[in-house]
Structure 1
């Protein structure tokens, strides 16, 4: 079974480096205990070398595949059928992005755009898998999402779930994969933009006071002790973990309060926008501020095969306002340097406008945005070619992006976790650090 949390050392489980060490040590006549001791010391030295720059991640996922041309990678000098109807706006760093993002244009010094993201999966499900796990889909194994891995490595903080999804777990690839179910994301269960928003299960049931709650909890623990001894099923262990975390939330007023948007000043609510995008992003800020390690939120539907310009003009303003407010707010609170904000989608859109005035799926090149948490602001990494057809320089894969994100969190991306059948599987296989964007 994999070691949980930190330190990141698994006694008795060899990774690739371990077998290399074993081969060389055998020639020196070391015993197995001596070999394990040397390996543990070497691994600890290696893992201690990575110092986390980000304490938390806010992952903003735009489902459907947002068009790079109508967002962060416009092509103003290409023919109309390629560049589309939208124009451009100059950023405060002298670059240009689509004029659908006027607020973000004024804050380009706070974020980095990777314009050379690339993978080969043109189906929504497979592209989503790539962007939530860093792996290509496999029929043999379900890989864990970023949030599940972070929850596994670090666990809860301040009695808040390590991994939270707004408003719900967005897709099947945002789950735990081969990791135990207890590392699942905590879903709010409702949209924080709703006037009647309330997070499920954060308050005692009607007629149950604190004393009655304690008695119920003690009774449940006695029953569970006998039941747990009779089974080792993952779902039973997970349920026990969920109960304990729920108790922690119920017993911690500050943790419960993090989910209450009514505690925010009305001007701050207006600043983010009283809509889905703004409310979800403001909630994400509250949750990482209170201690959650990775918050995933979704906004919009960007699968615009028809009437692309209309769709962009409808959905982009709330996104532009919400992300801009989030970056400003984090910066003003002194949180941006330790909070990684990551805006992704499953892929981009075709270089050429189709017959229905839309763009179709295109995984060969697209854009993502990163800010804070050890990422340089005010830079563009990589480039697409003149028609946004493929990378022109410095392509970045989902594995590279995942490796870089984990590195910023202080997690060694090629550390091996244990999959079913006692198979050691690397958190990310073959990813490279995107060093150019790191502070």
Structure 2
């Protein structure tokens, strides 16, 4: 919350003077926006200028019916769908994703992730770590929180700096880094405070801020140490975010070009809201956010797996391909790393309920943009999709590669945990050279 100190009393316009100054109640885990900006300014990272969109597929999607189909396997394994060719020779994906197939040269599929944990939790997709790692001290920080700690804000202008880390999914965690590096979650209350109350003009806010500065001068004169500062540069930057409305505008798609909305599949079916998150992610990057996390669908398909795929894969294909095309045509794709994964894969053998159960011995990871080499499938599972047969990849290898592209040296940077011990960002530090 952006709070400029003042006494609480009522005026004829119905706005209390204390309420008048509590503009911008942003949900940063109970911390004020000025505190967040101050912490990010102290990060001192050397960013490459790249951003991240991290898409979480809640429930654990089947690899066998999405990106690692086995048309030659026995019927009890291969399922009901066929692979189709993409725009990249040799790269095939499920027939239910024709739009995504048209941009096959812009993404890569890692088909041989070998060390997923059997955990219904977003922590692996957010950090590369198990939810149980350092659980007693808060757990491991997600990628957005790491970016907040090391890199800070992407843009600092007179109008302010957007938060580094924004979460549309509700699934990310800052771990032992604490609430200072939590993601901003624009729920309804927080979104309402991203703009000025309509009854409060910018001029009135400026007058009040100037008054407080004057009062602060009196306080400083009384304080020999000079530490009583009511409005510092970070508070002013926070006020800039609120008064400019850039973040609120990015989250509001009502004025977006109808043709763009149609391209994303917004307004078509029950997944419209999820599809809209992809468009919001693009708009938020343009507003200066570094890392946007979102989720799509529900993929815990113990039963009726194929019915679920028929409902969910087409809208995912529409939204994801639109995001890639949109970023490419605006020149931002090379500077945006799109990550997409779930908790684990699912059983290669179809169960008696036409479903697939949890399977952590193999799974996929989707990655696009970021100036990487794309149009390829990395790794290969055996003919039944049971385990990696060629080029096994650990989940943290992927995160290490992403951090490398962001300009974060995970080989040398450590964070001090609450017990005073240094902790590496990832433990398995091997770059995926096929991508970079």
Which TM-score applies when normalising by structure 1? Answer: 0.78
Partner of 1:358, secondary structure, is coil
Query: Offset of 1:118 from its aligned partner?
Result: 2.1
CA contact (8 A) 1:69 1:83 kept: yes
> What are the equivalent positions in structure 2 for 1:86-101 lying under 5 Å apart?
86-94=81-89, 95-101=91-97
The answer for the alignment partner of 1:57 in structure 2 is 52
Separation of aligned partners in 2, 1:420 and 1:312? 43
Pairwise CA RMSD of aligned residues? Answer: 2.8
Query: Offset of 1:212 from its aligned partner?
Result: 3.9
The answer for the alignment partner of 1:334 in structure 2 is 331
Query: Offset of 1:389 from its aligned partner?
Result: 0.6
Decide which of 251, 272, 275 is 2:264's aligned counterpart.
272
> What are the equivalent positions in structure 2 for 1:72-83 lying under 5 Å apart?
72-83=67-78
Distance 1:107-1:392 versus aligned 2 partners, 3 A rule:
same
User: Relative to structure 2, which stretch is displaced further, 58-67 or 251-260?
Assistant: 251-260
The answer for the alignment partner of 1:182 in structure 2 is 180
CA deviations 1:232-268 (Å, max 9, x no partner) are xxxxxxxx99977652311334444322312321110
> What are the equivalent positions in structure 2 for 1:137-148 lying under 5 Å apart?
137-138=132-133, 139-141=135-137, 142-148=139-145
CA contact (8 A) 2:191 2:248 kept: no
Determine if the alignment matches structure 1 residue 134 to structure 2 residue 128: yes
The answer for the alignment partner of 1:366 in structure 2 is 363
The answer for the alignment partner of 2:229 in structure 1 is none
The answer for the alignment partner of 1:45 in structure 2 is none
Query: Offset of 1:61 from its aligned partner?
Result: 1.0
Determine if the alignment matches structure 1 residue 157 to structure 2 residue 154: yes
Query: Offset of 1:182 from its aligned partner?
Result: 1.9
The answer for the alignment partner of 1:298 in structure 2 is 295
> What are the equivalent positions in structure 2 for 1:282-293 lying under 5 Å apart?
282-293=279-290
Which TM-score applies when normalising by structure 2? Answer: 0.78
Query: Offset of 1:374 from its aligned partner?
Result: 2.3
The answer for the alignment partner of 1:257 in structure 2 is 249
Determine if the alignment matches structure 1 residue 423 to structure 2 residue 417: no
Query: Offset of 1:184 from its aligned partner?
Result: 1.1
Structure 2 unaligned residues grouped into runs of 5+: 1-38, 156-160, 224-231, 267-271
CA contact (8 A) 2:116 2:344 kept: no
The answer for the alignment partner of 1:384 in structure 2 is 381
Higher helix share: 1
CA contact (8 A) 2:96 2:314 kept: yes
Determine if the alignment matches structure 1 residue 105 to structure 2 residue 101: yes
CA contact (8 A) 1:249 1:256 kept: no
Query: Offset of 1:412 from its aligned partner?
Result: 0.8
- State how many pairs are aligned: 370
CA contact (8 A) 1:182 1:242 kept: no
Distance 1:397-1:3 versus aligned 2 partners, 3 A rule:
farther
User: Relative to structure 2, which stretch is displaced further, 54-63 or 352-361?
Assistant: 54-63
Separation of aligned partners in 1, 2:191 and 2:40? 32
Partner of 1:161, secondary structure, is coil
Separation of aligned partners in 2, 1:289 and 1:404? 24
CA contact (8 A) 1:104 1:324 kept: yes
CA contact (8 A) 1:401 1:431 kept: no
Structure 1 unaligned residues grouped into runs of 5+: 9-50, 191-196, 230-239
CA deviations 1:12-70 (Å, max 9, x no partner) are xxxxxxxxxxxxxxxxxxxxxxxxxxxxxxxxxxxxxxx83x61111111110011111
Distance 1:62-1:202 versus aligned 2 partners, 3 A rule:
same
Separation of aligned partners in 2, 1:330 and 1:2? 26
CA deviations 1:67-124 (Å, max 9, x no partner) are 1111111010001110111122111223321112111112111111100112141121
Partner of 2:192, secondary structure, is coil
CA deviations 1:365-399 (Å, max 9, x no partner) are 11111111122121111111111111111111121
Separation of aligned partners in 1, 2:422 and 2:40? 9
CA contact (8 A) 1:82 1:352 kept: yes
Partner of 2:65, secondary structure, is coil
Separation of aligned partners in 2, 1:135 and 1:218? 47
CA contact (8 A) 1:57 1:294 kept: yes
CA contact (8 A) 2:86 2:103 kept: yes
Partner of 2:200, secondary structure, is coil
Determine if the alignment matches structure 1 residue 209 to structure 2 residue 204: no
Separation of aligned partners in 2, 1:98 and 1:354? 20
Distance 1:4-1:134 versus aligned 2 partners, 3 A rule:
farther
Separation of aligned partners in 2, 1:124 and 1:365? 16
Distance 1:207-1:109 versus aligned 2 partners, 3 A rule:
same
Separation of aligned partners in 2, 1:355 and 1:246? 56
The answer for the alignment partner of 1:37 in structure 2 is none
Separation of aligned partners in 2, 1:220 and 1:352? 68
